[in-house]
C-alpha cells in the first residue's frame, strides 16, 4: 500500500517536471526514442502505407502485371466496370450472406457452450477441452478435413446421416448448399475460442446478484434474461465487432474447399481480388476493388463501433 | 426428479462434445488405418472408437516415403520463430518509446500508429504483393517474412503495458551505468515476461496458420510453409489416399496441441485483450 502511494507521487512529480520544460527535450532521450521507433516505422510505412498508396495509383490504370510498361491511366474506367460486374456483385452478396449468418450462429453457439461449462459438475474440465478442441486445427487443416468428411459419395458425414435415414447430400458440390456448409464449419471451428471469452465473462458475474434475485423469487429463465444477458453485454459487443470484421475477410475456407464454386456460389470479395489481381495478373482492376473494399471495411468497423458504443471487454 | 434432470444434462453435454470431437477423433484414428479399413468402418461406431488390431503406422511410413512433410513443417517452425523474435523486439521497442520517452512529433506518431490499426491488413494483400514484387523479394524468405514483423496492434498493446511500468526500476538501471537500450533488455524485458509470452504465442499461432500471404509470396515448394504445402498436396495429387492425408493433418496438428497444453492460459487471455481471432 505504501509503495503504491510512493510510485503515484513519483509519477505526478515527473509529469509536472515535464510540463515545466515542455519544449526542452533531453538529447539522449530523443535519440533513443527515434532509434527505438525507426525499425517499426520503416516497416509500417513500407508494408502498410505504401500498399494503400499503390492501390490508389494503380486503381485508376489498366496495369497488367506482365506488361508493366504498357500501363495507362484510365480514369474511372475500373470503377464503372465494377458496377456492371456480375461476378463481383455475387461475391459481395456471398460475403454479406456469410457475415450475416456466421456472426449470430457462432456467437450463439459460443454462449451456449459457455453456459454448459459454467455449471459445476463432475468432468467439467473434460467437456471444456472437448468443446475447445477444434481451436488446435489450422484453417487449412479444418478445410481439408471437412472436405474429405463431406465427400458426397463416401464421406463420413453422409454415411452417418444414412444411419438415421437421411439421403446423401451434395454439400460443397452444390451451389445451393456450399455457402451454408462453409458457414456451419466456420462457426464450428471458431466458437471454442469465444466460449472461453464468454466463460470468463460469466465467472465475473457476482454470485450475490443471483442470490438476491432468488430471494425475490426469480426463476432460471428470468435470472438468465435479466442478469446474465445484461452482464455479458460488453463482451458480446466486443465479440460482435471482432467477428464481423474477421468474417468479411473470409477467403481460406472457400479457397481450399470449393475454389469459389460451384457457379461462384462461395466466391468472396477477397477471393475475387486474389483471382483477378494475383492469378490473372490483372492488377489495375483488382487494385480498384481493393480500394473500394478497404474503404468499405473501414466504414463498417467505425460504423459498428459507433452503433454499439466503444465498450471494452474485460 | 433431480437425478433425471442431472442425467439429461449429461446426455446433452456429451452429445455436444461429440459434435466437436468426432472430426478430430476420426482424423487421428484414420491416420493409423489403411484406406480399406477407413471406408469399411466409416458408417459405424468404429469410425471413432479404436480396435487395436486395425491400427498400424503404415500410412505414416508410406506418407514419409512419398513426401518429406517435415521439411515444410520445419520451414513453418522457423518462419514462426523468426517472426516472434523480430516482431516482439521491434514492436515492443516502439511501444516502449511511445510510452516512456518525450520527443518531438510523439503525438503525431502515436496517432499514425492508431490510424493504421483500422487498416484491414488482409484486404490490402494484393498491393502488398505489388510492393514486395517491386522490391524484387517475391519468392524469397525475407520478402515473405518482413511485411508481417511489424504489428501496429502489438505496438499499441506494448505501449499500454509500458505506461504503467515503474520508472524507478529504470532510473536505478541508469545509475548502474546502463544505456537506454541496456535498460530495455536487462530490466524492462525480464520484468514484463508475461506480456512477452502472451504476445509471442499469439504471433506464433498467427504465423503458423497463415495461408493467403505465403501462397502469394512463396511459390517455390522448398520454401513453402506447411499450410500451403498441405493444400498443394491435397489439391494437386487428386488420388491421395485418405489415410495419408489424415496422417499429414495429424502431424501438422501436433505442434499446436503441444503449444496449447503449455500455454492455453496465455492464448485465451491474449486473444481477449487484443481481439485476435
Longest dimension (CA), chain A: 81
Asked if A48's CB is within 8 angstroms of B150's CB, the reply is: yes
Q: Which residue of B has its CA nearest to A190?
A: B277
The SS3 assignment for B26 reads helix
Asked if B249's CB is within 8 angstroms of A274's CB, the reply is: no
The candidate with the shortest Cα–Cα distance to A71, out of A88, A58, A55, is A58
The SS3 assignment for B104 reads coil
Cα A117 to Cα A196: distance, rounded to the nearest angstrom? 9
Residues of A in contact with B106 (CB under 8 A): 33
Cα A308 to Cα A236: distance, rounded to the nearest angstrom? 10
- Restricting to A residues 134-193, those with a Cβ less than 8 Å away from any Cβ of B are 134-141, 144-149, 154, 156, 159-160, 162-163, 188, 190, 192-193
Count of helix runs (H) and strand runs (E) in chain B = 14, 0
The contacts of residue B180 (CB under 8 Å, 6+ apart) are A28, A29, A32, A36
CATH top class, domain B66-274: mainly alpha
Asked if residue A165 lies in contact with residue A245, where contact means CB atoms within 8 angstroms, the answer is: no
Residues of B in contact with A37 (CB under 8 A): 93-94, 97-98, 109
State the cell numbers at B116: 493504421
Task: Answer yes or no: is pLDDT of B221 > 80.
Answer: yes
Residue B157, min C-alpha distance to chain A (Å): 14
Residues of A in contact with B94 (CB under 8 A): 36-37, 39-41
State the cell numbers at B275: 481481439
| Residue range(s) in chain A whose domain bears CATH number 1.10.3720.10 | 87-308
Rg (CA), chain B: 24
Cell 512477452, located at residue: B196
Cα A196 to Cα A199: distance, rounded to the nearest angstrom? 5
Task: Answer yes or no: is pLDDT of B161 > 80.
Answer: yes
Count of CA atoms in the C-beta half-sphere (13 A) of A202: 19
Please state, in angstroms and as integers, the Cα–Cα distance from residue A175 to each residue in A103, A271, A276, B19, following that order: 21, 17, 21, 25
State the cell numbers at A99: 457475415
Cα A109 to Cα A192: distance, rounded to the nearest angstrom? 9
| Residue range(s) in chain B whose domain bears CATH number 1.10.3720.10 | 66-274
Asked if A127's CB is within 8 angstroms of B13's CB, the reply is: yes
Asked if residue A280 lies in contact with residue A271, where contact means CB atoms within 8 angstroms, the answer is: no
Residue A226, min C-alpha distance to chain B (Å): 23
Q: Which CATH number fits domain A87-308: 3.30.450.20, 2.130.10.10, 1.20.200.10, 1.10.3720.10?
A: 1.10.3720.10
The candidate with the shortest Cα–Cα distance to A24, out of B174, B103, B171, B106, is B103
What's the pLDDT score for residue B271?
67
> Which secondary structure element, helix H or strand E, spans residue A69, and what is its range?
none
Q: Which of B98, B230, B260 sits opposite A136 (nearest CB)?
A: B260
Is A247 an interface residue toward B (CB < 8 Å)? no
Asked if A7's CB is within 8 angstroms of B131's CB, the reply is: no
Residue B149, min C-alpha distance to chain A (Å): 8
Number of CB atoms found within 10 A of residue B198's CB: 22
Residue B205, min C-alpha distance to chain A (Å): 9
Asked if B211's CB is within 8 angstroms of A39's CB, the reply is: no
Confidence band of B275 (pLDDT split at 50, 70, 90)? very low
Is A51 an interface residue toward B (CB < 8 Å)? yes
The SS3 assignment for B57 reads coil
Is A115 an interface residue toward B (CB < 8 Å)? no
**pLDDT per residue as tens digits for the range B223-257:** 999 999 999 888 876 678 888 899 999 999 999 99
User: Among B42, B124, B251, which would you mutate to test the A interface (most chain A Cβ atoms within 10 Å of its Cβ)?
Assistant: B124
The candidate with the shortest Cα–Cα distance to B245, out of B232, B260, B255, is B232
Is B106 an interface residue toward A (CB < 8 Å)? yes
Cα B80 to Cα B201: distance, rounded to the nearest angstrom? 10
Asked if B272's CB is within 8 angstroms of A37's CB, the reply is: no
User: Among B118, B127, B201, which would you mutate to test the A interface (most chain A Cβ atoms within 10 Å of its Cβ)?
Assistant: B127
Asked if B24's CB is within 8 angstroms of A32's CB, the reply is: no
- How many contacts does A have with B, using Cβ atoms within 8 A? 253
Q: Which residue of B has its CA nearest to A112?
A: B16
Asked if A133's CB is within 8 angstroms of B120's CB, the reply is: no
Give the DSSP letter string of A18-64.
HHHTTT---HHHHHHHHHHHHHHHHHHIIIIIHHHHHHHHHTTB---
Residues of A in contact with B26 (CB under 8 A): 149, 156
Residues of B in contact with A277 (CB under 8 A): 126, 129
Residue A170, min C-alpha distance to chain B (Å): 17
Residues found in chain A? 314
Asked if B113's CB is within 8 angstroms of A159's CB, the reply is: no
Q: Which residue of B has its CA nearest to A65?
A: B130
What's the angle, vertex CA B12, arms to CA B8 and CA B13, rounded to 5? 115
Cα A82 to Cα A293: distance, rounded to the nearest angstrom? 12
The candidate with the shortest Cα–Cα distance to A246, out of A44, A143, A131, A95, is A95
State pTM to two decimals. 0.87
Asked if residue B155 lies in contact with residue B94, where contact means CB atoms within 8 angstroms, the answer is: yes
Q: What is the ipTM of this complex?
A: 0.90
Average pLDDT score over chain A: 85
State the cell numbers at B166: 515503474
pLDDT in tens, chain A (314 residues): 334 444 444 444 455 445 445 567 888 888 889 999 999 999 999 999 999 999 888 888 888 888 877 788 888 888 988 899 999 999 999 999 999 999 999 999 999 999 999 988 888 888 988 999 998 899 999 999 999 999 888 888 888 888 888 888 888 888 889 999 999 999 999 999 899 889 988 888 888 888 888 888 888 888 888 888 888 888 888 888 889 989 999 999 999 999 888 989 999 999 999 998 898 888 889 999 999 999 999 999 888 888 876 544 43
State the cell numbers at A55: 492501390
Residues of B in contact with A54 (CB under 8 A): 127, 130-131
Confidence band of B273 (pLDDT split at 50, 70, 90)? low
Partners of A73 in beta bridges: A61
Amino acid at each position: 500500500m505504501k509503495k503504491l502511494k510512493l510510485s503515484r507521487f513519483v509519477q505526478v512529480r515527473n509529469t509536472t517536471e515535464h510540463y515545466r520544460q515542455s519544449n526542452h527535450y533531453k538529447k539522449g532521450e530523443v535519440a533513443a526514442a527515434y532509434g527505438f521507433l525507426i525499425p517499426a516505422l520503416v516497416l509500417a510505412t513500407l508494408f502498410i502505407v505504401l500498399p494503400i498508396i499503390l492501390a490508389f495509383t494503380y486503381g485508376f490504370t489498366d496495369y497488367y502485371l506482365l506488361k508493366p510498361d504498357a500501363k495507362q491511366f484510365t480514369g474511372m474506367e475500373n470503377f464503372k466496370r465494377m458496377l456492371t460486374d456480375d461476378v463481383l456483385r455475387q461475391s459481395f452478396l456471398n460475403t454479406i450472406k456469410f457475415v450475416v449468418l456466421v456472426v449470430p450462429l457462432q456467437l450463439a453457439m459460443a454462449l451456449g457452450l459457455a453456459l454448459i461449462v459454467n455449471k459445476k459438475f463432475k468432468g467439467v474440465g473434460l467437456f471444456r477441452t472437448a468443446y475447445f478442441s477444434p481451436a488446435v486445427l489450422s484453417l487449412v487443416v479444418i478445410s481439408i478435413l471437412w472436405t474429405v468428411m463431406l465427400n458426397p459419395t463416401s464421406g463420413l458425414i453422409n454415411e452417418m446421416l444414412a444411419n438415421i435415414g437421411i439421403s446423401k447430400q451434395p454439400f460443397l458440390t452444390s451451389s445451393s448448399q456450399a455457402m451454408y456448409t462453409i458457414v456451419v464449419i466456420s462457426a464450428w471451428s471458431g466458437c471454442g475460442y469465444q466460449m472461453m471469452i464468454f466463460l470468463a465473462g460469466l465467472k465475473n458475474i457476482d454470485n450475490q446478484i443471483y442470490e438476491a434475485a432468488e430471494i425475490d423469487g426469480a426463476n432460471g429463465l428470468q435470472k438468465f434474461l435479466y442478469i446474465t444477458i445484461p452482464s455479458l453485454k460488453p463482451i458480446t459487443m466486443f465479440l460482435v465487432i471482432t467477428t464481423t470484421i474477421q468474417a468479411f475477410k473470409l477467403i481460406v475456407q472457400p479457397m481450399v474447399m470449393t475454389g469459389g464454386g460451384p457457379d461462384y456460389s462461395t466466391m468472396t470479395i477477397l477471393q475475387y481480388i486474389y483471382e483477378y489481381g494475383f492469378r490473372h495478373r490483372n492488377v489495375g482492376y483488382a487494385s480498384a476493388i481493393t480500394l473500394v473494399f478497404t474503404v468499405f471495411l473501414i466504414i463498417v468497423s467505425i460504423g459498428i463501433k459507433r452503433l454499439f458504443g466503444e465498450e471494452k471487454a474485460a | 426428479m433431480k437425478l433425471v434432470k442431472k442425467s439429461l444434462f449429461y446426455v446433452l453435454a456429451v452429445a455436444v462434445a461429440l459434435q466437436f470431437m468426432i472430426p478430430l477423433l476420426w482424423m487421428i484414428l484414420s491416420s493409423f488405418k489403411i484406406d480399406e479399413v477407413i471406408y469399411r468402418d466409416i458408417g459405424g461406431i468404429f469410425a471413432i472408437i479404436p480396435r487395436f488390431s486395425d491400427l498400424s503406422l503404415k500410412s505414416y511410413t508410406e506418407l514419409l516415403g512419398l513426401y518429406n512433410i517435415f521439411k515444410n513443417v520445419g520451414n513453418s517452425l522457423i518462419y514462426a520463430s523468426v517472426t516472434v523474435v523480430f516482431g516482439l523486439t521491434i514492436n515492443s521497442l516502439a511501444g516502449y518509446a511511445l510510452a516512456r520517452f518525450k520527443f518531438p512529433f510523439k503525438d503525431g506518431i502515436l496517432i499514425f500508429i492508431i490510424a493504421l490499426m483500422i487498416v484491414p491488413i488482409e484486404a490490402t494483400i494484393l498491393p502488398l504483393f505489388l510492393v514486395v514484387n517491386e522490391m524484387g523479394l517475391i519468392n524469397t524468405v525475407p520478402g515473405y517474412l518482413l511485411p508481417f514483423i511489424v504489428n501496429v496492434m502489438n505496438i499499441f498493446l506494448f505501449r499500454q503495458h509500458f505506461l504503467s511500468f515503474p520508472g524507478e526500476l529504470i532510473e536505478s538501471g541508469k545509475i548502474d551505468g546502463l544505456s537506454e537500450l541496456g535498460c530495455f533488455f536487462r530490466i524492462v524485458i525480464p520484468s514484463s515476461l508475461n506480456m512477452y509470452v502472451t504476445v509471442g504465442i499469439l504471433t506464433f499461432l498467427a504465423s503458423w496458420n497463415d495461408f493467403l500471404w505465403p501462397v502469394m509470396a512463396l511459390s517455390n515448394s522448398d520454401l513453402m510453409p506447411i499450410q500451403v504445402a498441405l493444400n498443394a498436396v491435397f489439391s494437386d495429387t487428386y488420388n491421395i489416399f485418405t489415410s495419408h492425408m489424415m496422417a499429414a493433418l495429424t502431424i501438422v496438428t501436433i505442434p499446436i496441441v503441444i503449444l496449447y497444453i503449455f500455454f492455453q492460459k496465455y492464448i485465451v487471455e491474449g486473444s481477449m485483450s487484443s481481439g485476435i481471432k
